[in-house]
Structure 1
Amino acid sequence: MLLQRAILDAIVRGEVSVQFRRWTRPSVKVGTVLRTAVGELEVESLRTVALERITKADARRAGTTVEDLQGWLSRREGTVYRIGLRYLQPDRRVALREDDALDDAAVRELAARLDGIDARSKRGPWTREVLRLIEARPAELAAELAASLGREKLPFKADVRRLKELGLTESLEIGYRLSPRGRAFLEREPAVGGPPSPIA
């Protein structure tokens, strides 16, 4: 569920608390936590509504006018849903990725997490290779990074999201870069017994 930055900022300020979407099947449910550019949002409510029953008050709470909202929804197919949203907290990954004070125990814990991901991968180990690739080629299109490994873009992006969950990478407008935590991990892992895994 994509939200424009202006709407996200208004949700944080408490000015917007609902959104409307037209879906053939809902992409969220009550309790879903959305990670966004401004932090985490929670879906508080989800219900269907007839297009013609959307009120001016509904539209105002969605950050728009009823005319614009009904016009936008009328150009889409599916059932109209009213989604109640509330701001939870800043994205915890932001603080995590800035934490580069990694002692040996923290490095070993991260290494074990990455080893576990590699062990479960059907194509074999990939985590250090992707980290080193992002280190060497920041702010490069995901499609180009994926192609350099002989991979498709979408599965590659899914893998990078797993590294992001550990606070090791950051998404840019184009491509990625290592976070301070990611850089510290790659620098310290060889010293505590991990593989350097350079890119050829």
Structure 2
Amino acid sequence: MMIRPAELAAIKAGTVDLAFRRWARPRVVVGTRMRTSVGVVEVTSVEQVSVSSLRAEDARRAGAPSLAALKEALAARSDDPAWRIGLTYAGPDPREALRAAVPDAEEIAAINARLDRLDAASSHGAWTRETLDLIDLHPTVRAPDLAARVGRETADFKKDVRKLKELGLTESLAIGYLLSPRGEAVVDAGLPAPRQRAPRESGTPLPRNIGAPATRALREVGVTTLEQVAGRTAAELAAIHGVGPIAITRLREALAEKGLAYRDE
């Protein structure tokens, strides 16, 4: 179930708790928990409704500007039933805490056993340690470029990286990946000595949904965190080639989630 960034932010804030969709059959059930850019969103109800029965309160709870706008959005695919989905924010993504949890020797042994099983189940041979090492040595590099380095298709490479992310070993950035502290500990455990790495940048990473062109443009001027974004005005950032209106809006939303704002707002 796709939910737009602005709606996700409103669900987290508690101002939106409904969504409406046209589906031939429900694609979620009560209790479905979706990991999103703002954390975990849980489905609390699913019921078929008549569009004619919707009221202004439904539109408000769904974050629509008006009842007419909500009905207009549901006009497409009118042959499919309309569904009212109840939603609630269920907390941060548990993988965030897992990434920061540095494992002890026993945990590292268990993680390595899990990596061995992933390697054994792979049709293209052992890949887990190679991929961890690749990300460690080439942080913030585009997935297609990383995949090309090891002769793999990008889609399959990204699918495997997601498996490592599930274990809390990697984190996805707007462009490329980083090893988490947990992932670094696993890699270092297999080396004669801990690898020397650049210090981790403090602050909140730029949101992934601003797009690669905007991310690259901001990096070029030294803006790599939301805290640094908050030191600029929206007009200053909009004047940077590659930072368009959508990126400005999504940055504003991300800033608001952290209790921040552009310098002039």
- TM-score tier by shorter-chain length is 0.7 to 0.9
Show the counterpart of 1:6: 6
- Please state whether the residue corresponding to 1:2 is helix, strand or coil: coil
The equivalent residue for 1:50 is 50
Specify which structure has the higher proportion of strand: 1
Tell me if structure 2 keeps the 8 A contact 1:19–1:84.
yes
CA distance in structure 2 between the partners assigned to 1:23 and 1:147 by the alignment: 38
Partners of 1:185 and 1:175 in 2: CA distance: 20
SS in 1 for 2:90: strand
Work out whether 1:172 is the aligned partner of 2:173.
yes
Structure 2: state its 5+ residue gaps. Answer: 196-265
When normalised by structure 1's length, the TM-score is 0.85
- Quickly say closer, same or farther: Cα 1:70–1:137, change in 2 above 3 A: farther
Higher relative contact order (CA 8 A, sep 6+): 1
The more displaced of 128-137 and 17-26 is 17-26
How does 1:13-92 map onto structure 2 within 5 Å?
Answer: 13-64=13-64, 65-76=66-77, 78-92=80-94
| Deviation of the 1:110 alpha carbon | 1.0
Identity %: 48
Q: Distance in 2 between matches of 1:80 and 1:136?
A: 49
In 2, the alpha carbon distance for the partners of 1:121 and 1:113 equals: 13
Secondary structure of 1:123's aligned partner: coil
Larger CA deviation: 104-113 vs 73-82? 73-82
CA contact (8 A) 1:107 1:189 kept: no
Give the match for residue 135 of structure 2: 134
What code does the residue aligned with 2:62 have? A
- Specify which of 99, 115, 118 is matched with residue 101 of structure 2: 99
Q: Deviations over 1:142-180 (max 9, x none)?
A: 233223333333222221111111100111112221111
Equivalences, count: 192
Against the structure 1 CA distance between its residues 57 and 154, is the aligned structure 2 distance closer, same or farther, given a 3 Å change threshold?
Answer: same
Q: Is 1:160 matched up with 2:161?
A: yes
User: Given the superposition, is the C-alpha separation of residues 112 and 66 from structure 1 closer, same or farther in structure 2, using an over 3 Å criterion?
Assistant: same
* Cα distance in 1, alignment partners of residues 25 and 131 from structure 2: 34
Question: In angstroms, what is the RMSD of aligned CA positions?
Answer: 2.2
Amino acid at match of 1:31: G
Query: How far did residue 25 of structure 1 move?
Result: 4.4
Counterpart of 1:3 in 2: which secondary structure? coil
Q: Partner of 2:232 in structure 1?
A: none
Q: Which amino acid aligns with 1:83?
A: I
Report the 3-state secondary structure (helix = DSSP H, G, I; strand = E; otherwise coil) of the residue aligned with 2:168: coil
TM-score where L is the length of structure 2: 0.66
Give the distance between the partners of 1:84 and 1:108, measured in 2 at CA: 41
Aligned amino acid, residue 186 of structure 2? F
> Any gaps of 5 or more consecutive residues in structure 1?
none
> Partner amino acid for 1:97?
R
Determine the C-alpha separation between the residues in 2 that align with 1:180 and 1:113.
18
Report the equivalent of 1:189.
190
- Alpha-carbon separation, structure 1, partners of 2:24 and 2:130: 39
SS at match of 2:74: helix
Q: Deviations over 1:38-78 (max 9, x none)?
A: 22121111122233332211111111122222222324564
Q: Check 1:134–1:42 CA distance in 2 against 1; reply closer, same or farther (3 A cut).
A: same
Contact 1:111 1:189 in 2 (8 A): no
Which AA in structure 2 matches 1:169?
A: T
